[in-house]
Amino acid sequence: MTTPYEILGQYPDRTRPWVTHYDGVDSRIELSVASTANAVAKAASMLRDGLGLTPGSVVSVDLPRHWQLPVWVMAALSVGATVGRDLPGRDLPTRDLPAPIDVRIVGPQGIAAIAAGGDWGADEVLGCWCDAFGLPVPGGVPAGVIDVVEVRAHPDQFSPEPDAGRMAALLVRRAPVRWADLAHTAGPQPGARLWVDEDTAEPVLLHAVAVEPLLVGGSVVIGTGLDAERAVRIRATEAITGRAGQ
């Protein structure tokens, strides 16, 4: 069973955009298919070779809508993990990952909560500042947290374990769905350029931002903190063909 990392390697044009992120301060970051595959390889290597994850491990990707979100979802699936979004401390009905959680990947809010004494209940916690350029957490991460910038030391290529695709699963609408089943679901038109923003529902967010564009050989544009007029302009400029997660 082919993993997300291997699917990225099958794109005929690796120079085309795969993930593009806009925020409310005029920042635009774009990763090509090749750059996304490189980032996924490094992240998957960090999870497996650096943290010891094996197929069947559990990973909670609690990042905001940012270009690093699909990278870590695809990396964890490529390791063969069950991947979801636990988001403790928020009023969201998403605490459905099987326990224990082996790795939790948190963004700025999670880092702040841990620094304030919160326990996010995982064997390993990775902290991501979600800077546009992937810079380290300002002032360093709290004790017991690993800054995801350490991913840079890992290889640019990744060889998934033979059973990774068979074991991988994603929490979709609060239920784990095997990667083998996800990979055969119908999606938008081939090559679709899909839009994800704050209105993309939490229960389908990880599928919408990472899996849906991947399975149609398409790409994703993430918009956060945008006013309505700017969002309309961006969708036109980026030639958006549909909204993910519908």
Q: Please report the domains of the chain, with CATH numbers, ordered by start residue.
A: 4-243 (3.40.50.12780)
Q: What are phi and psi of 205, to 5 degrees?
A: -60, -50
Helical residues (DSSP H) of 178-240, grouped into ranges: 179-182, 205-206, 212-215, 228-237
Q: Which two tokens stand for residue 68?
A: 């690093």
**Do residues 88 and 107 lie in contact, with contact meaning Cβ atoms separated by under 8 Å?**
no
Read off the pLDDT of residues 42-73 as tens digits, 9 standing for 90 and up: 999 999 999 999 999 999 999 999 999 999 99
Q: Where are the beta strands (DSSP E) in 91-239?
A: 103-106, 124-127, 145-147, 169-172, 175-178, 193-196, 219-223
Max distance between CA atoms of the chain, in angstroms, equals 48
Report which of residues 91 and 36 the model is more confident about: 36
H/E element holding 83? strand 82-84
Q: Which two tokens stand for residue 77?
A: 């699936």
Average pLDDT of the segment spanning 181-203: 87
Per-residue pLDDT at 1? 65
- In this model, does residue 21 exceed pLDDT 50? yes
Mean pLDDT over each residue of the chain, to the nearest integer: 92
Min mean pLDDT across 113-117, 162-166, 217-221, 228-232 is at 113-117
Average pLDDT of the segment spanning 222-242: 96
Burial class from Cβ neighbours inside 10 Å (0-12, 13-18, 19+) for residue 156 reads exposed
Q: How confident is the model at residue 91 (pLDDT cuts 50, 70, 90)?
A: very low
In the chain, the amino acid numbered 49 is: D
Instruction: Name beta bridge partners: 178.
Output: 169
Spatial neighbors of 36 by CB under 8 A, at least 6 apart, are: 8, 18, 19, 70, 71, 74
Cis peptide before 160 (omega within 30 of 0): no
Per-residue pLDDT at 26? 79
Length of the chain: 246
- In this model, does residue 19 exceed pLDDT 60? yes
Q: How confident is the model at residue 95 (pLDDT cuts 50, 70, 90)?
A: low
